[in-house]
Structure 1
Amino acid sequence: MRAFVITGPGRAEVQEAEPPVPGPGEVVVEVERAGVCGTDMEFWSGAMAYLRTGEARYPVRIGHEWCGIVREAGDGVDPAWLGRRVAGDTMLGCGECARCVGGRQHLCADRYEIGVRNGWPGALAERLPVPVRALQPLPGALDPALGALVEPGGNALRAVNAAALDPGERLLIIGPGTIGLLAAMMAAARGLEVHLLGLAGPALDFARSLGFTRAWTSRPDQAFDAVIDASNGSGSPALAVQAVEPGRRVVFIGLSAEPSRIDTRDLVLRDVTATGILSASGGLAGATELYASGLVDPRPLIAATVPLEEAGLVLAGRRRPEWGSAPKIHIDPRLPG
């Protein structure tokens, strides 16, 4: 089968690889779509932290936002999965440790992360092996484009849930990228007053084109009932703490390439709750339901769908002008190069 493989910083190629064989409790998925995100771009640049800790190494096959059809099933897997369209969890815990047993498998110390950690191959390939326990079945209303947005949607939904707001309350989202915009869509569907904060330029203009008119380039002069930091700016976490109403919540889902510092005195003296969100685990079913219901339609976030052979250009940030400013690029491994 064909697979996109990053062999080193700034180097990649489409290779012929052996197709996966499902082990016990596993399926093999024919990949229909795979999204490219900031983590993938860090593997391309060499900035990904796991490359320094040894949790990942080149060559690496990326791709953890995906959708596809189950084509093979291993021992112990219900044959009813065959032919079903699915998405899936990135985080694959061992299933036996206290964290896994306690429902925190995404924090398992020995976890694999599809396309990211400990060598589990990703979805920028024609076929992908996945444990059946990680699958998220998709209803017929969800096409491959929506299916590949379930994983980032699960992240965004967990962030909105963590903000714990009621309809009519004010939410500030820092960072108008894919996760920030998905969170904004989901928050608006709940009746929240959504504000976005970002740098002047195409990303914020695109957010306005989606109807988010409260889009700012500097912090508004008001306190917010919750703040979600979905940016990669090292100063954004401190800004989030300063912008939230005392006694309320800040949610951190963005990651900076350098340490992001906050003054814990700001948390203590203002009685602020801070929550970190890692992964879509626990949010996949909710994102699927939102998309299927039509309450949230994230398809405008997709700028283009390209073949495996163009993945390197996407990772290098070389976008075609006709794609516009939508943040998400999808890869379809079935397209000819």
Structure 2
Amino acid sequence: MRALVLTGPGKAGVQEVEPPVAAPGQVVVEVERAGVCGTDVELFTGEMSYLHTGRSWYPLRPGHEWCGAVTELGAGVDPSWLGRRVTGDTMLGCGHCDRCRAGRHHVCGELAEIGISRGFAGALAERLAVPVTALHALPDTVDPALGALVEPGGNALRAVRAAALRPGERLLILGTGTIGLLAALFARAEGFEVHLLGRDHDGLRLARTLGFAGAWTRPDLPALPWSAVIDASNAPELPALAVDLVEPAGRVAYIGVAVSPSILDTRDMLLKDVTAVGILGGSAGLAGAIAAYAGASVDARPLVAATVGLAESAGVLAGHRPSGAGPGPKIHIDPRR
């Protein structure tokens, strides 16, 4: 089958590889759609920290935002999965340690991540092997574009839940990339007053198109009381700004990851009695994201700028924006093309 393979920093191409076989407890999925994420780009460029700690290595087959149909079952798998449209959890714990047994498999000490770490092949390929325990069934109302947005949607929904707001309370989201906009959509569906902070007015145009009138740059951000702040940016200075802006006794959820270390004075947090929460992975938010998409309380499809074939995926990782792409931040790959 065809799969995108990263062979070194800045080196990638579609190769013919052996197709996956469903081991006991696994299924094989024919991939309908896969999203390209900032993590995939960092794996391509060589900037991803896992490449320097030995958690990831080349050659590497990326892709962890996906949906598809189950075509093969391994031993011990319920036959009812065959033919079903599914997506899956990226985070694969060992299943036996205290963290996994407590429902925190996303921080398992032996964690493998589909398309990211410990050599687990990803979804920028025609087929993908996945443990059945990671699967989530997709209703018919969740099309391929939404199906491949479940994983980032789960991350964004976890950040919104971490804000712990009541309907009508005011939320500020720092960053207007995929996660920031998804968080805004989920927060609005929960009844919160949502505002976004972006780098420039051009970057805020899509947010306004999506109906968010409160889309600001730093100079024109109004001095409103922000009950909670979500930092969905990759700017090292914004974690401190989040604490500065949030109301005393408010909450800050950190889901963006900066390439360089952030400087955050914990005295500012302490003296404002701020609660700060870090978000890693979408595991606990996947079911909620599927339900929101299926029930149409959240339509994330405008975030997808273009869908291209597998042959174009290396160019997308290198920063090429497909011809005719819309304003959204997300590029999808259809490996069947």
Structure 1 length-normalised TM: 0.98
What corresponds to 1:79 in structure 2?
Answer: 79
In the alignment, what sits opposite 2:199?
A: 199
Distance (whole Å) between structure 1 residues aligned to residue 251 and residue 235 of structure 2 = 19
The structural deviation recorded for 1:201 is 4.6
Work out whether residues 24 and 77 of structure 2, in 8 Å CA contact, stay in contact via their aligned partners in 1.
yes
1:329 aligned to which of 327, 331, 337 = 331
Please state whether the residue corresponding to 2:288 is helix, strand or coil. Answer: helix
Counterpart in the other structure of 1:252: 254
Among residues 217, 225, 228, which one is paired with 1:226 in the alignment?
228
2:173–2:184: 8 Å Cα contact kept in structure 1? yes
Separation of aligned partners in 1, 2:160 and 2:293: 15
CA RMSD in angstroms, aligned pairs only? 0.9
Distance in 1, Cα, partners of 2:277 & 2:210: 28
In structure 1, the partner of 2:105 is 105
Indicate conservation of the 8 Å contact 1:226/1:245, yes or no: yes
Cα distance between partner residues in 2 of 1:102 and 1:209: 41
Structure 1 outlier segments of 4+, above 3 Å: none
Partner of 2:242: 240
Tell me the amino acid that sits aligned with residue 108 of structure 1.
C
Conservation of the 8 A alpha-carbon contact between 2:31 and 2:68: yes
Shift of 1:321: 5.1
Q: Which amino acid is 1:327 matched to?
A: P
- Greater CA drift, 213-222 or 26-35: 213-222
Cα displacement string for residues 24-81 of structure 1 (whole angstroms, at most 9, x for unaligned residues): 1100000000000100010111100000000001111000000000000101100100
Matched positions, count: 335
Q: Would you say 1:213 and 2:213 are equivalent positions? A: yes
For 1:125 and 1:194, locate their aligned partners in 2 and report how far apart those are by CA, in whole Å: 37
Match of 1:58 in 2: 58
- Paired letter, 2:49: A
Paired residues for 1:1-12 under 5 Å: 1-12=1-12
Question: What stretches of structure 2 of length at least 5 have no aligned partner?
Answer: none
How far is the alpha carbon of 1:202 from its aligned partner? 3.3
* Separation (CA, whole Å) in 1 of partners of 2:123 and 2:202: 29
Deviates more, 1:316-325 or 1:92-101: 316-325
- The separation in 1 between residues aligned to 2:255 and 2:204, in whole angstroms, is 19
For residues 225 and 6 of structure 2, the distance between their equivalents in structure 1, rounded to whole angstroms, comes to 44
Please tell me the residue identity of whatever aligns with 2:132.
Answer: V
CA contact (8 A) 2:153 2:286 kept: yes
Gaps of 5+ in 1: none
Structure-to-structure mapping, 1:1-337, within 5 angstroms:
1-218=1-218, 219-320=221-322, 322-335=324-337
Look up the equivalent residue of 2:191 and give its one-letter code.
G
For 2:129, the aligned partner's letter is P
Q: Secondary structure at the match of 2:165?
A: coil
- Is the 2:316–2:322 contact (alpha carbons within 8 Å) kept by the matching residues of 1? no
Report the AA paired with residue 200 of structure 1: D
